[in-house]
Amino acid sequence: MWKKIYIDKENLELAIQKFKTITNTAKHFKVGVKLIRKFLKEYNIKYSKVNGIDWDNVTDLGKIPDVEIAKRYNVSPTAVCNARKLRNIKALNPTPKYNIDWDQIPLGKYLDEHLANMLGCTYGLVNKERVKRNIPPYGMTYRTFENQGAYYGEAIIDAWLHKQNIPHTFQKQIGPYRVDWVLDKNVIWEFVGMWDHKLYGEDYRNNFYNKKAYLEYNGFTVRAIHQKELNDFKKDIDLKLLYSFGHFVCSGCNRNNVKHVAHGLCSACYIRNKTKNKLEDNLQNVFNKSLKIKVNKIVNF
């Protein structure tokens, strides 16, 4: 049979001031933490100095996230949360309100992370809205401008290389290894997206070290690009130009019922663009030849 426990207000006030924390006070009375919290609320005891902090003088409780206050005073966010709740102060809601018509967003056609980057919201919000509509997630494969399959991170870096007009070859076989990018003749970039993976990270890192040792032995310089570096690449590219195999709109004719060929174009626009470039090159060659003939005539004269 359970025994009813009672702690009077005076003893509780003395104990909370002496032992500083709810946990230590609960140990003193040999009861649970929940019971101490219950009596504190019932007696409306707003104890000030807990963990050596005068919470009544912490003026930004509820005005900034609990985590920031916890870092400042070197305590847990839970301690800040408890001090705030005892003073009936509501938590700050840091989640901004987005004016997004989710029914018009191509959920499931892109990765949730990609849509979040384009919309400027959180990955979790996109995920929540997609799940709410029973839309299955999109697979991992995107494509480069040359229509080669790539993961999202790889597609970002490849688009950045195109934007910077850096010549490169994607997914090139070198000896027993396939590398992500070859720049110039002996510079290699590798996107190590699973570096910190909880299950496979260790094996992934060991495989990378073996690949790097082989490539460096054969005269290559290897750069490892980590997940946290992607933000630097994202700043310089238009994320709408990244095409997944689930969604494509031709950047030439803006049709969405055509297949991607290369450089974000359908077959008709790609051929038209190629023909135009070839014609411009021919005209330039003719002009250069005629100019060279005129110069030679003047020199010979």
- pLDDT tens digit string along 45-72? 766 555 567 777 888 888 888 888 888 8
250 lies in a domain?
Answer: no
Residue 47: CB partners within 8 Å, gap ≥ 6?
13, 16, 17, 40, 55, 86
93 lies in a domain?
Answer: no
Task: Report the number of distinct structural domains present in the chain.
Answer: 3
Shared domain for 146 and 238, answered yes or no, is yes
Shared domain for 185 and 228, answered yes or no, is yes
Shared domain for 230 and 189, answered yes or no, is yes
278 lies in a domain?
Answer: no
Q: Which residues of the chain have pLDDT under 50?
A: 1
Which pLDDT value is given to residue 1? 42
Q: Which of 206, 225, 244 is the last residue of a domain?
A: 244
Percent of the chain with pLDDT over 70: 83
Residues 65 and 72: beta-carbon distance below 8 Å: no
Which pLDDT value is given to residue 210? 92
Helix (H, G, I), strand (E, B) or coil at 192: coil
Q: Tell me how far apart the alpha carbons of residues 35 and 32 are, in angstroms, rounded to a whole number.
A: 6
Which pLDDT value is given to residue 192? 92
pTM of the model: 0.48
Residue 86: CB partners within 8 Å, gap ≥ 6?
40, 41, 45, 46, 47
Domain membership of residue 63 as a residue range: 9-86
269 lies in a domain?
Answer: no
Residue 259 CB coordination number (10 Å): 9
In CATH, what number is assigned to the domain containing residue 156? 3.40.960.10
Shared domain for 171 and 120, answered yes or no, is no
Shared domain for 147 and 239, answered yes or no, is yes
Shared domain for 148 and 239, answered yes or no, is yes
262 lies in a domain?
Answer: no
137 lies in a domain?
Answer: no
240 lies in a domain?
Answer: yes
Q: Tell me how far apart the alpha carbons of residues 22 and 86 are, in angstroms, rounded to a whole number.
A: 12
283 lies in a domain?
Answer: no
Shared domain for 111 and 41, answered yes or no, is no
